[in-house]
Amino acid sequence: MTSQEVRTQFLNFFKGKGHKIVPSAPMVMKDDPTLMFTNAGMNQFKEFFLGNTVPKNKRVTDTQKCLRVSGKHNDLEEVGKDTYHHTMFEMLGNWSFGDYFKKEAIQWAWELLTDIYQIDKESLYVSVFEGSDDADNLEMDKEAYDLWNAIVPKERIIMGNKKDNFWEMGDQGPCGPCSEIHVDLRSKEEKAKTPGASLVNQDHPLVVEIWNLVFIQYNRKADGSLENLPEKHVDTGMGFERLCMVLQGVKSNYDTDVFTPLIREIEIITGHKYGKDEQTDIAIRVVADHIRAVSFSIADGQLPSNTGAGYVIRRILRRAIRYGFTFLDTKQPFIYRLVKVLGETMGKAFPELREQYQLIENVVKEEESSFLSTLEQGLVLLESVIKSSKSKTIDGEKAFELYDTFGFPIDLTSLILEEKGYQLDSKGFEKALKAQKDRSRAASEVSKEDWTTLMEDSEQEFIGYDSLEASAKIVKYRKVTSKKGGQQYQLVFNLTPFYAEGGGQVGDKGYLETPNGDVIYIVDTKRENNEIVHFSENLPKNVSDTFKVVVDKKQRWRTASNHTATHLLHQALREVLGNHVEQKGSAVHSKYLRFDFSHFSKLTVEELREVENFVNARIEGQLPLEENRNISMKDAMEQGAIALFGEKYGDTVRTIRFGQSVELCGGTHVKNTADIWHFKIVSEGAVAAGIRRIEAITSDAVKEFYFKNNRMLFEIKDLLNNAQDPVKAVSSLQDENATLKKQIEQLLKDKAKGLKTELVGEMEEINGIQFLAKKVDLDAAGLKDLSFEIGGQVSNLFLLLGAEKDGKALLSCYISKELASNSGLNAGTIVRELGKHIQGGGGGQPFFATAGGKNPAGIDDALAGAKEIVRSTTIT
Ligand code: ATP
Ligand code: MG
C-alpha cells in the first residue's frame, strides 16, 4: 500500500464514521506566544478543549504537519540515530469534541488497524492507565480496560503509569488517561525468545508506539487539583510514517516510500550508498529527514533567520549540512537538490511544496553556501587555535567563541580535535555555554501568577472594528513579573475595542478609566488561547468596577493606514511585477509598514516609482472600505481573495476590499483610502534568496518625512551660501574637490622626488655599505614607495626610515637583495629588533620589512641602533 493510500484510507475511514475531514493547520505557529511549532494534532483544537470556542463540527479528522524540535517535545537529537523519530512528521488524528468517547474511539481504532489495514492482531499491544496513588489519587481506567479486553486478550494489555498513560496539555487545563497502541515488528524467532509485552515503551526500534488515544475528561486547576469536565473529548494521534512502515512490511520509517525517493537522490548526489555503514546511514537519514522540516516551514512562511522560530529552522538545516560535510564529503551545497524530489513525493497531499518549490530551493541553497563558507572559515580559525595552544587540551572558552560568534558546531570542533590528537576542554565549553544561557534567560524569563477570575463563564466580545471605546468589566487578571524585575498586569475584559496583535499588525494601545476618573494605560494587547489579553502597568483599585476602556485613536489610525496601504502595496506589486509575487511576511506598525514578498531581482527605480504611483492613485481615488465579516471561504476565493500559505482559515472568513484589492484579513483598516493621505516607499532590499522587502510609510509619517527632508534641504542651502540651485552648487563643489585632489597628489609626488634627491645626497658609506637612517614625514605607504625608489637607484643599500603618524611610530628597513645575501643582514630580523625601541613589532622579507609601535619617542634610538648594526657588519 502506498503512503498516499494509507493517508487517504485513514481519512475516509473516519469520514465514514461521521467525521469532517479538515486541512492540516500550519506547522509554524503565527500568533501563539506559548508555542513556536505545531507539535501535535490537537494544537489547533486547543480552544475547543479549553471551552473558549464552540466547535462547528463535533467530529473531525485530519493529518497534521508536526515538528518536534523545541520545548516540551524535542526529538531533534534522536533524529537520524534511530529509525522512527522525525523532526517533521504527520500525525493522523480523529477527534470528538463532547461527542463520542472511549467506546467508539477504541472500537474504531481497532477496526481500522486490523480490519481495514489488516495488521496482524497478534503483533499489537495496547496500554491502559493503571491509576496513581499520588495526590491525584486516580483510579485505574477500568472503562478502557474492559473495552479493550472485549477485543484483545489480557496478555497484550499493558498497564501503564502516569508518565506514559496520563496525558496533560500543560500545568493547567484539560487532561485525561490515554491508551497507546504499540506494534511488535520482530521476527517469529525473536518473538519466541522475548515476549513483546516486556519491550513496550522500552525504546526498542521494532516495538514502537504507533497510536495514542487520549480521553480528555478532567481539567487540571491552578491549585493542582482535578475536576471533572462537563464534556468529554477524544484526541488521538497516529504517526503516519510509522504506520506506513508497518503497512509496507519494512523495519524502518526510512525504508517506506515516504523516504526512499529522498534517500535514492542523496545516494546519487553524494555517491554514498545507504545501508553499508552506520555512520553514513545516520547522516543520510538526518539529511532526508531535515529537508522535510525545513521545506515545510519555508512553505509555511518561516524562513531561516537569527531569532525565534527562524533560528530553530536554521539550526535544523545546519545540522543536516554538518552531517553531510562530515560524513558524506559534501563540500558544495547539495541539500537544495532534494526539494524537487520532496515536491514530487509529497506535493499531492501538500500542494504548498510544489507551488513554492523555486523559493524553497533558493533559500536552502543560499543557507547552505553561507554555512559551508562559515565551516571553512571556522576550520581555519580552529587551525590557528590549535597552533597557538600550548597543551593538548583546547580551551573551552575558545571553542565557545568559535561556536558563538561563527556558528561553528561544537561536535565538529571535537571531531577535528580528536583527529589531530587534541582534545576539547568540554567542561570549560559547557560552563561558557551555561553562562550565556543564564544571561539570556535572566533577561527574558517571566513568572506569571495564576489568573484571578472575577466573572465565571463570561463571554468576551471584540467590538474594535466598529468602535474605539467601551464600557467593560474585568473577567480575569493576573500579575506578570519579568526576571529583570519589571511588573505588568494582564487583563481580560468582557467587552473590548482593543485589537490584539495578529496577522502582522501590532496590538492596540490606550487606557482604562475608573469611575472616579483615574487613568491606567494599556500598553499592549495580545491574543492567548483565543482570548484578548490587555497589558497594563497597574491594576485599578477596585477591580470589580465598570471601566471605560479607550483605544488610542491616533495610533489606531496610523496602524490602520499602514494596514490598508499594505493591501494596496500587495496589489501594486502583483500588478507591476507579476502574479508570481506572493506575500512572505508583513509587519504593520503605527510608524511604518514592512512587506516581504517573493521576487527574484532587485526592483528598479522605475518599478519602485510605478508601485508608489499605483498605491497613491488608489489613495487619491478615495476607495471606500467594503468589509465582509462572515463570508464563506469559497465565495471569498471567487471574489479573487488571495489566501496566504501558512495561515489558518476557518470555514467563514473576513474579507477586506478596496476597489480591486480583496484580501482575507482580520486586521483594522481605514474607512476610505483617502484617510491614508499618502504612501511613500523608504527602502527596498533582499531578505533571503528570492525574497525582497519593502518598507514604507503613510499618513503623518509621510508628512514628517517630507518635513525633515525639507529642513535638511534648507540646511544644505544654508551651507552653500543660499545657492539658488543647490544641486548645481554641490556638483561644482565636487568638481572643485576633484581638481584639488589631483593637485595635492602632484604636490606630494614632487615632494617625494625632492625628498629622494635629498636622501640620496645624505648617504654615507660604512663597511662598503651605502647607509642611511633618517626620520621623515610620510605614512606607511609613502615609506615603502620611497624605499623602493631609492633602492632602485642605489646599490648595496641599507636604508632605515622612521616616521611618526597619528601618534604612532613607523619603521621601514630596505636592504639591497645582493647585500642581504652577501652580509647575512635580514630586514625582518632587524625591524623586529629595532621595533623594541618604539614598543612595537613587525616583520617582512629579508630585503624589506616594516614595524609599527606606540612609542614615537624611540624612533631616534632605533635609527642609532641601525648604524650600530651596519658598523658591525662585514660583507663576505
Ligand atoms: P515516542 O514515545 O515514540 O516518542 P510519543 O509518546 O512522544 O512517542 P505522542 O506524543 O503520543 O508520542 O504522539 C502520537 C504519535 O505520534 C505516536 O504514537 C507516534 O506514532 C507519533 N510520533 C511521536 N513523535 C514522533 C516523531 N518524533 N516522529 C515520528 N512520529 C512520532
Ligand atoms: Mg516522544
Report helix angle 278-299 to 357-388, nearest 10: 130
Residue 870 half-sphere exposure, CB side, CA atoms within 13 Å?
Answer: 26
The enclosing H or E element of 595 equals: strand 593-598
68 alpha carbon – ligand 2 mean position (Å)? 8
Cα angle, residue 73 at apex, residues 71 and 76 outer, rounded to 5°: 90
Q: Whose CA is nearest to atom 1 of ligand 1?
A: 209
Q: Ligand 1 pocket test: which of 39, 77, 89 has the largest number of ligand atoms within 8 Å of its C-beta?
A: 89
The secondary structure of residue 329, as a DSSP letter, is -
407 alpha carbon – ligand 2 mean position (Å)? 28
Q: Where are the alpha helices (DSSP H) in 111-177?
A: 142-149, 162-165
Which of ligand 1's atoms lies nearest the C-alpha of 73?
A: 7
What is the predicted pLDDT for the residue at 559?
A: 97
Q: Whose CA is nearest to atom 4 of ligand 1?
A: 85
633 alpha carbon – ligand 2 mean position (Å)? 36
Which residues on adjacent β-strands are paired with residue 683? Answer: 695
Q: Whose CA is nearest to atom 10 of ligand 1?
A: 40
Check whether residue 182 and residue 303 sit in a common domain: no
82 alpha carbon – ligand 1 mean position (Å)? 13
Check whether residue 699 and residue 575 sit in a common domain: yes
Name the closest ligand to CA 39: 1
Residue 784 half-sphere exposure, CB side, CA atoms within 13 Å?
Answer: 9
73 alpha carbon – ligand 2 mean position (Å)? 6
Name the closest ligand to CA 164: 1
213 alpha carbon – ligand 1 mean position (Å)? 12
Please give the full DSSP string across 792-843, using - where no structure is assigned.
HH-SSEEEEEEEEETTEEEEEEEE-HHHHHHH---HHHHHHHHHGGGTEEEE
Cα angle, residue 583 at apex, residues 691 and 334 outer, rounded to 5°: 40
319 alpha carbon – ligand 2 mean position (Å)? 20
Residue 112 falls inside a structural domain: yes
Q: Whose CA is nearest to atom 27 of ligand 1?
A: 85
Which of ligand 1's atoms lies nearest the C-alpha of 164?
A: 6
Name the closest ligand to CA 75: 1
**Cβ(404)–Cβ(435) under 8 Å?**
no
* Nearest of 830, 823, 825, 824 to residue 801 by alpha carbon: 830
Check whether residue 541 and residue 681 sit in a common domain: no
Per-residue CA distances from 541 to 294, 512, 518, 568 (Å): 50, 12, 10, 45
Asked whether the predicted pLDDT for residue 803 surpasses 80, the reply is yes
109 alpha carbon – ligand 2 mean position (Å)? 20
Q: Is 752 helix (H, G, I), strand (E, B) or coil?
A: helix
Query: Averaged over 692-717, what is the pLDDT?
Result: 95
Q: Whose CA is nearest to atom 30 of ligand 1?
A: 239
* Nearest of 705, 698, 694, 695 to residue 676 by alpha carbon: 698
At 771-790, the pLDDT tens digits run 999 999 988 888 999 999 99
The secondary structure of residue 130, as a DSSP letter, is -
At 316-348, the pLDDT tens digits run 999 999 999 989 999 999 999 999 999 999 999
Q: Whose CA is nearest to atom 25 of ligand 1?
A: 85
Burial class (CB in 10 A: 0-12, 13-18, 19+), 677: middle
> For the chain, what percent of residues have pLDDT higher than 90?
73
Domain boundary among 650, 680, 706: 706
Check whether residue 158 and residue 86 sit in a common domain: yes
**Cβ(229)–Cβ(194) under 8 Å?**
no
Q: Whose CA is nearest to atom 16 of ligand 1?
A: 239
Q: What is the 3-state secondary structure (H, E, C) of 435-472?
A: HHHHHHHHHHCEEECCCEECCCCCCCEECCCCCCEEEE
Domain boundary among 193, 221, 250: 250
Q: Whose CA is nearest to atom 24 of ligand 1?
A: 85
155 alpha carbon – ligand 1 mean position (Å)? 24
Q: Whose CA is nearest to atom 14 of ligand 1?
A: 237
Asked whether the predicted pLDDT for residue 447 surpasses 80, the reply is no
Asked whether the predicted pLDDT for residue 444 surpasses 70, the reply is no
Asked whether the predicted pLDDT for residue 170 surpasses 80, the reply is no
Residue 863 half-sphere exposure, CB side, CA atoms within 13 Å?
Answer: 15
Q: How confident is the model at residue 713 (pLDDT cuts 50, 70, 90)?
A: very high
Name the closest ligand to CA 90: 1
Q: What is the pTM of this model?
A: 0.73
Name the closest ligand to CA 205: 1
Asked whether residue 567 is marked as a ligand-binding residue, the answer is yes
420 alpha carbon – ligand 2 mean position (Å)? 37
Q: Whose CA is nearest to atom 19 of ligand 1?
A: 239
The enclosing H or E element of 424 equals: strand 423-424
Residue 808 falls inside a structural domain: yes
Residue 415 falls inside a structural domain: no
Would you state the torsion angle of the CA atoms of residues 655, 657, 661, 663, taken in this order, to the nearest 10 degrees?
Answer: -10
The two beta strands, 88-97 and 73-74, are unpaired
Which of ligand 1's atoms lies nearest the C-alpha of 180?
A: 18
Check whether residue 622 and residue 543 sit in a common domain: no
211 alpha carbon – ligand 1 mean position (Å)? 8
Q: How confident is the model at residue 31 (pLDDT cuts 50, 70, 90)?
A: low
Which of ligand 1's atoms lies nearest the C-alpha of 214?
A: 11
CATH number at residue 542: 2.40.30.130
Check whether residue 170 and residue 297 sit in a common domain: no
Quickly count helices (H) and strands (E) in the chain.
25, 36
Residue 731 falls inside a structural domain: no
List own/partner pairs for 821-830 with CB under 8 A and 24 or more apart. 822/875, 822/876, 823/769, 823/873, 823/874, 823/875, 823/876, 824/873, 824/876, 825/798, 825/869, 825/873, 830/800, 830/866, 830/869
Q: Distance from CA of residue 807 to its chain's centroid?
A: 46
164 alpha carbon – ligand 1 mean position (Å)? 12
Name the closest ligand to CA 76: 1
* Maximum separation of any 2 CA atoms in the chain, in Å: 114
Residue 700 falls inside a structural domain: yes
Question: From CA 660, how far away is CA 617, in angstroms rounded?
Answer: 13
Q: Whose CA is nearest to atom 26 of ligand 1?
A: 85
Q: Ligand 1 pocket test: which of 87, 168, 200, 242 has the largest number of ligand atoms within 8 Å of its C-beta?
A: 242
Question: From CA 276, how far away is CA 268, in angstroms rounded?
Answer: 15
Q: Ligand 1 pocket test: which of 37, 76, 81, 85 has the largest number of ligand atoms within 8 Å of its C-beta?
A: 85
Q: Where are the alpha helices (DSSP H) in 445-552?
A: none
Which of ligand 1's atoms lies nearest the C-alpha of 78?
A: 27
Residue 823 falls inside a structural domain: yes
Which of ligand 1's atoms lies nearest the C-alpha of 181?
A: 18
User: CA 760, 764, 767, 772 torsion: positive or negative?
Assistant: negative
Which residues on adjacent β-strands are paired with residue 813? Answer: 800, 849
CATH number at residue 610: 3.30.980.10
310 alpha carbon – ligand 2 mean position (Å)? 23
The string over 160-188, giving b where at least 16 C-beta atoms fall within 10 Å of a residue's C-beta and e elsewhere, is bebebbbbbbeebbbbbbbbbbbbbbbee
Check whether residue 278 and residue 330 sit in a common domain: yes
Check whether residue 226 and residue 102 sit in a common domain: yes
* Nearest of 625, 576, 627, 623 to residue 603 by alpha carbon: 576
Asked whether the predicted pLDDT for residue 27 surpasses 80, the reply is yes
Check whether residue 695 and residue 566 sit in a common domain: yes
**Cβ(508)–Cβ(519) under 8 Å?**
no
Question: From CA 449, how far away is CA 491, in angstroms rounded?
Answer: 12
Question: From CA 155, how far away is CA 197, in angstroms rounded?
Answer: 8
The string over 238-259, giving b where at least 16 C-beta atoms fall within 10 Å of a residue's C-beta and e elsewhere, is bbbbbbbbbbbebebbbbbebb
Name the closest ligand to CA 239: 1
Which of ligand 1's atoms lies nearest the C-alpha of 75?
A: 27
Report helix angle 339-346 to 357-388, nearest 10: 140
64 alpha carbon – ligand 2 mean position (Å)? 16
At 622-677, the pLDDT tens digits run 999 999 999 998 899 998 898 887 788 878 899 999 999 999 999 999 999 999 99
The string over 8-27, giving b where at least 16 C-beta atoms fall within 10 Å of a residue's C-beta and e elsewhere, is eebbebbeebebbebebbbb
Q: Which residue has the cell 571531531?
A: 415
Report helix angle 726-761 to 780-793, nearest 10: 40
What is the predicted pLDDT for the residue at 109?
A: 98
**Cβ(364)–Cβ(354) under 8 Å?**
no
206 alpha carbon – ligand 1 mean position (Å)? 14
Residues lining ligand 1, Cβ inside 6 A? 40, 68, 75, 85-86, 89, 91, 209-212, 237-239, 241-242
What is the predicted pLDDT for the residue at 815?
A: 95
* Nearest of 238, 158, 235 to residue 200 by alpha carbon: 158
**Cβ(137)–Cβ(13) under 8 Å?**
no
Burial class (CB in 10 A: 0-12, 13-18, 19+), 699: buried
- What is the number of domains present in the chain? 5
Asked whether the predicted pLDDT for residue 457 surpasses 80, the reply is no
For residue 619, the tally of other CB atoms under 10 A from its CB is 23
Domain boundary among 343, 367, 391: 367
At 528-546, the pLDDT tens digits run 878 999 999 999 999 999 9
Question: From CA 176, how far away is CA 165, in angstroms rounded?
Answer: 9
Q: Whose CA is nearest to atom 23 of ligand 1?
A: 239
Name the closest ligand to CA 80: 1
Asked whether residue 665 is marked as a ligand-binding residue, the answer is yes
Task: Report the range of poorest mean pLDDT among 451-460, 588-597, 804-813.
Answer: 451-460
CATH number at residue 175: 3.30.930.10
Q: Whose CA is nearest to atom 11 of ligand 1?
A: 212
Task: Report the range of poorest mean pLDDT among 150-164, 234-248, 473-487, 732-746.
Answer: 473-487
Residue 771 falls inside a structural domain: yes
At 292-325, the pLDDT tens digits run 999 999 999 899 988 889 989 999 999 999 999 9
Q: Which residue has the cell 535572566?
A: 442
Name the closest ligand to CA 87: 1
Question: From CA 743, how far away is CA 747, in angstroms rounded?
Answer: 6
The string over 494-531, giving b where at least 16 C-beta atoms fall within 10 Å of a residue's C-beta and e elsewhere, is bbbbbbbbbbbbbbbbbbbeeeeeeebebebbbbeeeb
User: Assign residue 683 a region: left if phi > 0, alpha if psi is -120 to 50, beta otherwise?
Assistant: beta
89 alpha carbon – ligand 1 mean position (Å)? 9
Check whether residue 568 and residue 692 sit in a common domain: yes
Q: Ligand 1 pocket test: which of 206, 212, 216 has the largest number of ligand atoms within 8 Å of its C-beta?
A: 212
Check whether residue 82 and residue 164 sit in a common domain: yes
CATH number at residue 829: 3.10.310.40
At 468-499, the pLDDT tens digits run 999 999 999 999 887 677 889 999 999 999 99
The two beta strands, 797-805 and 769-775, are parallel
Query: Averaged over 97-126, what is the pLDDT?
Result: 97
Mean pLDDT of all residues belonging to the chain = 92
Residue 445 falls inside a structural domain: no
User: CA 40, 43, 48, 49 torsion: positive or negative?
Assistant: positive
At 222-255, the pLDDT tens digits run 788 898 888 899 999 999 999 999 999 999 999 9
Q: Grid coordinates standing for 211?
A: 497510536
Q: How confident is the model at residue 52 (pLDDT cuts 50, 70, 90)?
A: confident
Phi/psi at 198 (nearest 5 deg)?
Answer: -80, -10
Which of ligand 1's atoms lies nearest the C-alpha of 253?
A: 29
Burial class (CB in 10 A: 0-12, 13-18, 19+), 647: middle
Question: From CA 59, how far away is CA 501, in angstroms rounded?
Answer: 31
**Cβ(719)–Cβ(628) under 8 Å?**
no
Give residue 538's domain range: 451-551
Check whether residue 180 and residue 52 sit in a common domain: yes
Which of ligand 1's atoms lies nearest the C-alpha of 68?
A: 27
